[in-house]
Structure 1
């Protein structure tokens, strides 16, 4: 990547208690006439329990992980990380430039924080990464090396870092991104100074430093069967034949919407048939922004497909998303005009992709609307007479995530009741009212609005409601 048994607690609507409250605008009275519409339905659906990805994955015999930023492992970010994922990968904190910026001088605070968090939350740790051409300190990348001197520097670094966390790391990405797109060796400082053997040297050094950790070679654009993944396949086969310790292959899976390889599962299987484990190590699926409802639906299907491909192969160990929230994604900084690549939006709200992952892991959606972010509700009394009135309600989605199915609830402050509604199904129990979408207006893209209306009766007063909730998320006046 270039950027950035304890039972876990059940997620209570993905840390909704920490979400920014929605804003509410209560409109004044205007004149107008009501249209007639269908009578309301008799019942409401009950809220469903939210999926917990780590529990679902464990039931499938795999893990579900996320890359993390150590400094953010608190608040809502830390809560979701601990509750939803059973494996974490430090995004930058274990890279050579982070831990040994000066030769022989090591900084462990970030890496230690990630490992400590994982141990406190019964999570695996994927060590990332020991040998990589990028994010190297200047003294390594621009040094004057012979094969022997750089080999010593490399194996000493591996011995120190992997040795520090001996017995505490489940998987190490020992060598990262060794190939060019055409399957030739990338001409990194290690390749040019040491030659082809540097990969075997690094794996042997990692095995000596931590005999229990599983050792991986990790690369991108190797998810499907192509020249680059075939070069990786041939490397693994050769290492196995030489007796070099290699336990697994990491397929990064930095994907673009619409480009999940059709050969993904077959590719996972062919590596497994070599006798090594496979992991999806850095999954994100980017799209042009702002996202549309159709894009988010496609992203859901593609997260589901990638997760299902791993779950279908016995030696696929698990999946790691490269950051679970758009607020911590590397994509916008690197790919102009692209983003929205992760399962949660910037406000820590689960996107359709989150539910796609859950469905691939066996969760069944009962149709309850998904949670939403910020909204604006305008309530306007259009006409009023002795004992009746007509009102119009406009719901505007002011978050960055599409609403896919909505349910707006409020409580009458003065004993009013709804007698007829249009563009929504409205039910009432006592003073509690719920308006649910019609089949034709369930989707509300970011920035869009939906309007419904109703006739009601009143006596003594017709005070406007002062609080609304949208799909269980409180709006404020």
Structure 2
């Protein structure tokens, strides 16, 4: 189909159909413009003058682009699907349109199927002694670490609060510092560096075998850049930024598992404005030259949360990845995708899945890096839905829940505050989402996290080998400690460490005792 002789951005073909309340709809189509390039958005009309965005894509002439999206409606309705492009000179061409609706039960079943396929594997342990099968061996299997990482934001308050330390260490295997590794924290004044807090935090988490994400080396938002940096000439900005990059990366490259290199670079462009259009790509290359091991993340908000934010739609995110990779010297750079996940509007699960589908097609690792949901009666339920959606997508490798705690950001005053309108702001210093209160008592979002941490790991198992000397079980991916008990086995004999990696066939582990 083609929409031609367009006078207004909304001029396009339209298709009417019926929608069912509380169904989750997925949409896809191939789009092309007859000339130029522009963002093409798909919408459905809802009640009155309102409309609901389905998805967006950067379309151009000469090639087809896939638009994927999704939406949910809260009532049965008859509606129309249509498209919008500000490039009114161009015809909009469309092909292979698909719109499918799913009940919540169907959606959840699909998610469960993906979890069983990509987050679990059959484990078969074969025990022998002197080359013969050994039966009646009691085999205990305990998971030490999950492959899918669930972590939490944290603050320097963890350094001097033993109860908070215990709470954190018992739950999480990854941590992101809210502010303590950012340049404005370690370099508040020109020529002076202070790594006291991040050094102590890195040491604490290293001691407890908790991974640390390096967040963030530079921030593209000028409002989050020190005034002394903003006041410098272009050449001095370059010198100061390079000096900081070299300082923080060489200091922590062996202590972190990843770097957020240039925070929010699709929304903001401080370094491009100062140094030229390839500034961020240059810094990614510099970090790679200093640290050849860790993945280098882009880190953005609204790609999942707010489909109307055209700056960070998935196709724009992919374009930015390609720009960084195409910069001279960056061809083989190890990039990764950070999706912050600050859900102020209620999450649209079908849109989240579509966006992750597009991004995962790059083959790059994906993390939800700063996940929280809006304060209110549905906060915990919405957090659970987003976490489940992420865990059910094979392209996502980890989640950082943005629940960094301080006694002052989750106190009674903060917890009593709420958003009565979309424009409301919480009191200064209050966290949007608290997992625990000021006394470390678990709150509903914390209950959700605890429940999923327990659900997404294999609890300790005890099985006995048969005459064939084997035990078999489906387990979550990750690291395990396996021990064996049998009259022929000397007491105190050490067990075996096993790493269950992804695979369709059972993982065969042979043990000679």
Q: TM-score, normalised by structure 2?
A: 0.52
Instruction: Output the aligned Cα RMSD.
Output: 2.9
Name the CA shift for 1:276/1:139 in 2 (closer, same or farther; >3 Å). Answer: same
Question: Who is 2:152 aligned against?
Answer: 66
1:198 to 2:279 alignment: yes
Question: Who is 2:226 aligned against?
Answer: 137
CA contact (8 A) 1:65 1:85 kept: yes
Structure 1: segments with no counterpart, 5+ residues: 1-54, 181-185, 289-294, 365-477
By how many angstroms is 1:323 displaced? 2.0
CA contact (8 A) 2:435 2:442 kept: yes
Question: Who is 1:46 aligned against?
Answer: none
Question: Who is 1:106 aligned against?
Answer: 193
Q: 1:275 aligns with which of 338, 359, 363?
A: 363
Q: 2:444 aligns with which of 343, 352, 355?
A: 352
Structure 2: segments with no counterpart, 5+ residues: 1-141, 419-423, 457-513
CA contact (8 A) 2:342 2:373 kept: yes
Whole-angstrom CA distance in 2 between matches of 1:245 and 1:252: 22
Question: Who is 1:372 aligned against?
Answer: none
Deviation string 1:361-408 (CA, Å, 9 cap, x unpaired) is: 5629xxxxxxxxxxxxxxxxxxxxxxxxxxxxxxxxxxxxxxxxxxxx
Deviation string 1:226-259 (CA, Å, 9 cap, x unpaired) is: 5223322210133334516242111111112624
By how many angstroms is 1:92 displaced? 1.1
Secondary structure of 1:112's counterpart equals helix
Q: 2:176 aligns with which of 89, 103, 109?
A: 89
Q: Which has the higher contact order (CA 8 A, sep 6+)?
A: 2
CA contact (8 A) 1:303 1:356 kept: yes
By how many angstroms is 1:200 displaced? 0.8
Whole-angstrom CA distance in 2 between matches of 1:352 and 1:118: 26
Question: Who is 1:386 aligned against?
Answer: none
Q: TM-score, normalised by structure 1?
A: 0.56
By how many angstroms is 1:358 displaced? 4.4
Q: 1:223 aligns with which of 304, 323, 326?
A: 304
By how many angstroms is 1:192 displaced? 0.8
Q: 1:236 aligns with which of 315, 321, 326?
A: 321
Question: Who is 1:179 aligned against?
Answer: 266
Name the CA shift for 1:90/1:306 in 2 (closer, same or farther; >3 Å). Answer: same
Secondary structure of 2:299's counterpart equals strand
- Structure whose residues are more often strand by fraction: 2
How many residues are aligned here? 293
Whole-angstrom CA distance in 2 between matches of 1:220 and 1:275: 20
Question: Who is 2:337 aligned against?
Answer: 249
Whole-angstrom CA distance in 1 between matches of 2:197 and 2:382: 32
Whole-angstrom CA distance in 2 between matches of 1:254 and 1:344: 18
By how many angstroms is 1:312 displaced? 1.9
Name the CA shift for 1:236/1:198 in 2 (closer, same or farther; >3 Å). Answer: same
Q: Based on CA coordinates, which of the two structures has the bigger radius of gyration?
A: 1
Name the CA shift for 1:275/1:125 in 2 (closer, same or farther; >3 Å). Answer: same
